[in-house]
Chain A
Amino acid sequence: MGISSLYMLRENISMSLSNIINNRLRAFLTTLGIMIGVTAIIALITIVQSVTTEMTEQFTALGASNVNINASGTALKRGLNPSDMQTLLNIENVAGISPNISLTLTVATETGWEEEATVEGRNEHYFASENVVERGRAINPIDTESINRVCLIDKTLMKSLFYGIDPLGKQISISGISHTVIGVLASSNMDLMRQAQGGRDNGRIIVPYTDAMKLSGTQNITSMVVYLKDSSLAEETIKKLEHALDTAFNFKENSYFVFNMQSLVDTMNTVLDMMTALLAGIASISLVVGGIGIMNMMLVSVTERTSEIGLRKALGAQPKHIQGQFLIESFILSVIGGIIGAFLGVGLSALFCNIMDAKFTISWSAISLGVFFSAAVGIVFGWAPARRASNLNPIDALRSM
């Protein structure tokens, strides 16, 4: 590009701007399509991303550093035994393993009862990894070793069984066997999840897992939570766990199932990414429609300015000068539309996130995508009108004056 092309470019830009300013209303209406398209793209992408971040955080809080194992076992071996547990516990990066036994039993005190309470069997690792005890003490290794009849109850049971009484040290009957209350559980996300799933919250009670196995009469552990030291190494640790489980179940298929919250989060992110692309794709249809609007206006503008084009040609304008002028005009029009759309899109998504109580993050990639596409639309749809203007015969153009 020579120096004179640069002068030309500057000249074209100033001519285009003055022309756009002189046709304010029409220019505004024409770029409306681009504006709406870019607004939609940016708002959709930003909103979906904000929601994704929010959901990822919540799911991670629920335990991305946990690996859940469901070991239904084989016909010969229905679940894991304590020595298998020890093998798993020795695997690198495993901080602890807590069996996860869940029963529905009747619990009662002198002052109340609950017929369908959730009774969970846990060990000390559960309490080490999750901050669940509000008052009293957690279950310790001695409790599990010697099958102590102790338990921790949640707030719901505290209310229904010990209304107005301090439950610590009191006795509670689980399936007719007396247990001493050693602690009260803090409210957790899990409680909220249970409530969200609907139904009555019957209360939750935790006992040593050995005790729970006795209560249910099982010899094997079929479900457990593995706590990781470093959740970023989850994948490798899961491989090792799977290997150990394969060995324990003699490589029989479908004998166990390993599940990590992180993999759920990953799957969810993939789905949301696809959704984002789909939504942005739909929104970009309006960009194309907007582009057609710009093309229409530019064609009208070429017709209206036929004599001006003729005059410019008489004064020495080459076809490329005229083409450049019109191309730059449609480019500027759609980029202005794109920029306004970007502001609107960011505003809209900020508003949405505010209403939804989600954390708002500006998505620069969405903004640059929107503005880039609007610029591309300006060039693509401005091409034909600019071409037509440059090809006008100067005589015909001058004759229309």
Chain B
Amino acid sequence: MSEFFRMRDIVKQYQMGDELQTVLKGISLDIQSGEFISILGPSGSGKSTLMNIIGCLDVPTSGEYILRGRAIADLSPKQLAEIRSREVGFIFQSFQLLPRVNAMRNVELPLVYAGVPARERSKRAEAMLERVGLEDKLYHYPNQLSGGQQQRVAIARAIVTQPTLLLADEPTGALDQANGKAVLGLFKELNEEGHTIIMITHDLNNARQASRVVNILDGLLLEEAV
């Protein structure tokens, strides 16, 4: 397996009023291509900040982050957007679907920003919705779908650009057990298809679905549990 990314001594500080708050206190983490890893930690541990940095939504205050051979620290907002567009698929706890457009249009959205022509977009969006088992709900609006179905639309949206990395922030947090299980099952399948997956969660049972679990507490990575 090749190296997917390498993090060295990542520090992230926020200015909160007069106070300088250090959210990440020196995180080093290596991930290989094709891994499925869970980042486990309670709320306030800095795991969302870590995820934002991994997903190139944010840049670290100091430290080295090299994603697929590319140093992230000095990139412009435009270049970061290009990396997000090409490399990363985000999955959020609250799905984050656009409420006024149907499932197809939601899934097409990342392709719009990637500059894919309209016909190609709908072809790929349809294929992805089929992949997550929603071939009969293509033109449903988010409010016509159940939570589990909405999260599957969100997963289809995350994988439609064929990103190398799937980044999921509490993907089962808003789902009941059955749907949560289905989503995790889908993750395993996608991992077997070659996607590198990083899942952030506070639930140990969910975390154990991954092949590797990393604990984060108070801005520091602890021992990697098995």
- Cross-interface CB contact of A321 among B52, B86, B100, B113, cutoff 8 Å: B113
Q: Is B85 an interface residue (CB 8 A)?
A: yes
Given the interface pairs A7-B117, A395-B52, the reply to whether A317 lies near B98 with Cβ below 8 Å is no
What are 16 inter-chain pairs, A to B, with CB distance below 8 A? A4-B115, A7-B112, A19-B100, A307-B96, A312-B113, A314-B84, A315-B109, A315-B110, A315-B113, A316-B84, A316-B85, A319-B77, A319-B81, A394-B52, A395-B52, A398-B92
A10-41 residues with Cβ-Cβ distance < 8 A to B are 10-11, 18-19, 22
Encode contact with A along B2-36: 1 for CB under 8 Å, 0 otherwise.
Answer: 00000000000000000000000000000000000
Q: Is B41 an interface residue (CB 8 A)?
A: no
Q: How far is the CB of B71 from chain A (nearest CB, A)?
A: 20
Q: Is A313 an interface residue (CB 8 A)?
A: yes
For B109, the chain A residues whose CB sits under 8 A away are 312, 315
Q: Is B82 an interface residue (CB 8 A)?
A: yes
Encode contact with B along A300-329: 1 for CB under 8 Å, 0 otherwise.
Answer: 000000011001111111111100000000
Given the interface pairs A7-B112, A8-B115, A394-B57, the reply to whether A317 lies near B100 with Cβ below 8 Å is no
A2 to B85, CA, bound (A): 18
Closest to A5 in B: B115
For A320, the chain B residues whose CB sits under 8 A away are 78
A96 to B157, CA, bound (A): 89
- Contacts A315-B157, A393-B58 aside, 15 further interface pairs with beta carbons under 8 A come to A7-B112, A7-B117, A7-B118, A19-B100, A307-B96, A313-B81, A313-B84, A317-B113, A319-B77, A319-B81, A321-B113, A394-B57, A395-B58, A398-B92, A401-B92
Q: Is B171 an interface residue (CB 8 A)?
A: no
Interface range for B: 20 to 34
A306-362 residues with Cβ-Cβ distance < 8 A to B are 307-308, 311-321
Closest to A317 in B: B113
Closest to B98 in A: A308
Give the interface centre of A3, A7, A315, A398 by most chain B CB atoms within 10 Å: A315
For A18, the chain B residues whose CB sits under 8 A away are 100-101
Closest 3 CB pairs of A and B: A316-B85, A4-B115, A316-B113
Contact B96 A311 (CB under 8 A): yes
Q: Is B55 an interface residue (CB 8 A)?
A: yes
A22 to B84, CA, bound (A): 29
A398 to B91, CA, bound (A): 12
Closest to B108 in A: A11
Q: Is B94 an interface residue (CB 8 A)?
A: yes
Total residue contacts A-B, CB cutoff 8 A = 73
Contact A313 B112 (CB under 8 A): no
Contact B112 A318 (CB under 8 A): no
Q: Is B90 an interface residue (CB 8 A)?
A: yes
A342 to B110, CA, bound (A): 38
Contact B81 A318 (CB under 8 A): yes
A71 to B112, CA, bound (A): 82
A394 to B49, CA, bound (A): 12
B170-186 residues with Cβ-Cβ distance < 8 A to A are none
Contact B94 A315 (CB under 8 A): no
Encode contact with A along B106-127: 1 for CB under 8 Å, 0 otherwise.
Answer: 0001101111111000000000
Q: How far is the CB of A310 from chain B (nearest CB, A)?
A: 8
For A7, the chain B residues whose CB sits under 8 A away are 112, 115-118
A317 to B57, CA, bound (A): 11
Q: Is B151 an interface residue (CB 8 A)?
A: no
Contact B57 A8 (CB under 8 A): no
For B215, the chain A residues whose CB sits under 8 A away are none
- Cross-interface CB contact of A22 among B86, B90, B100, B157, cutoff 8 Å: B100
Given the interface pairs A7-B118, A401-B96, the reply to whether A314 lies near B55 with Cβ below 8 Å is yes
For A307, the chain B residues whose CB sits under 8 A away are 96
Encode contact with B along A271-313: 1 for CB under 8 Å, 0 otherwise.
Answer: 0000000000000000000000000000000000001100111
Contact B82 A316 (CB under 8 A): yes
For B81, the chain A residues whose CB sits under 8 A away are 313, 316-319
For A10, the chain B residues whose CB sits under 8 A away are 118
Q: How far is the CB of B156 from chain A (nearest CB, A)?
A: 12
Q: How far is the CB of B61 from chain A (nearest CB, A)?
A: 13
A311 to B113, CA, bound (A): 12
For B150, the chain A residues whose CB sits under 8 A away are none
A308 to B113, CA, bound (A): 14
Give the interface centre of A2, A3, A312, A393 by most chain B CB atoms within 10 Å: A312
Q: How far is the CB of A59 from chain B (nearest CB, A)?
A: 60
For A321, the chain B residues whose CB sits under 8 A away are 113
Contact A318 B77 (CB under 8 A): yes
